[in-house]
Amino acid sequence: MVSERDIFCICGPTYLTSVDCVDKFLNFVSLFIVKRTSQHHRRSVAASLVQAVYVLERDRQLNRQFPDAFAPHWWEFFHFDLIRKLVDDVDNTIFGAIFELSPNSSPQTDLNSNAPRFVIAFRGTITEKDSISRDLTLDLHLIQNSLHTTSRFLIAMQAVRNVASAFPNSVIWLAGHSLGSALAVLVARNMVKTGKLLDTFLFNPPFFAAPIEGIRDVRVKQGIRIASSLITAGLNMALRPREERPILEYSFSMLASWAPNLFINPNDHLCSEYIGYFEHRKNMEELGVGSIERLATQNSIGDMFLKALGRESEPWHLLPSANLSTNVGPARDFKWAHGIQQWWQSDLHLVCKQYRYT
């Protein structure tokens, strides 16, 4: 059965052609640099290429092949070429893809400019029978902060390293949705350690914590967050050996120059805690207790307990810096609030803030 969500001409951002009033969207690259709408276009293109990975996998599962495949429309519209599919070695599902901007897309295109030459995109969980078992297993790894131990991460990491090594002066974007966002974060964090900062677009990145952001009473919410920070900082002092603390601080602060683009819907409880995570850190600084929050923001209670039990764990979701865009428009339901399709809509109502760790 054909789903409308896979069909670009029905659900995709076809309205973007009206920006430059030409039949062919040949000048879209320049919009990244000189137009006031560049951020909207960057987000829409990144989200569309993530959707392309979803459709690639559904094309595979439903045996939709050229010329009946739906996926190519999601990258060809923006003049990208599919360079490589990233395939999970456990179940042979497509979980990512490498796209390259066509060198013939525009006579004004400069592949060494701020426009991306490559976009490496990762999808989230697909609940169809051919993929659900593996994806849910990886979701469990995500909850346990052990996604970095899986073969899917290793495949993604190697693919990005290969592109970055082969084209060291090219602009490379990472993009992911949900589970795919977690993969993108882990890959980007590792690339930062090698001195390579990649533009990263994270749509509905999971933040597994108590849903404090959903509490409407501001004073109660702030009180709970302050208490949580005190507990987290105290546990860090009690459970983490003194010699490990400077290493953790250095590792965390080293990431501060990398500011991924986070796209959050407050009605999506899987990612909404990012709003409180960054706002609370700013509030604690203003209250003059930033040293406590500095400890708390680098640690998660779950991660510390896992380490105390001798299990390898990495709090991938704790970020020093970010460009946070919150969709404050109405949400139909949780499925819509967590979905990728909201991020290329023309009528988005976003609140955008920058957070920097100093």
Among 185, 174, 162, smallest CA distance to 50 is for: 174
Least confident window among 35-44, 97-106, 112-121, 226-235: 226-235
Residue with the larger pLDDT of the pair 16 and 262: 262
CA distance 270 to 335: 11
Tell me how far apart the alpha carbons of residues 203 and 68 are, in angstroms, rounded to a whole number.
28
Which of the two residues, 301 and 104, has the higher pLDDT score? 104
- Cα separation, 297 vs 355, in Å, equals 13
Task: Give the number of domains in the chain.
Answer: 1
Note whether 130 and 189 are within 8 A (CB): no
The pLDDT mean for the chain works out to: 84
Domain that holds residue 160: 4-355
Tokens representing residue 100 in the block: 């390259």
Shortest CA distance to 183 belongs to which of 226, 143, 132, 123? 123
Reference 116, options 190, 198, 51, 48; nearest CA is 198
pLDDT in tens, 78-87: 999 999 999 9
The residue assigned the tokens 């009605």 is 267
- Bridge partners of 281, per DSSP, are none
pTM: 0.85
* Mean pLDDT in residue range 69-96: 97
pLDDT digits (tens, 9 = 90+) for 177-234: 999 999 999 999 999 999 999 999 999 999 977 677 777 777 777 777 767 766 666 6
Place of tokens 């790894």: 141
Gap between the Cα atoms of 215 and 8, Å rounded: 37
Helix axes 218-239, 301-308, angle to 10 degrees: 20
Runs of H (alpha helix) within 111-150 = 132-143
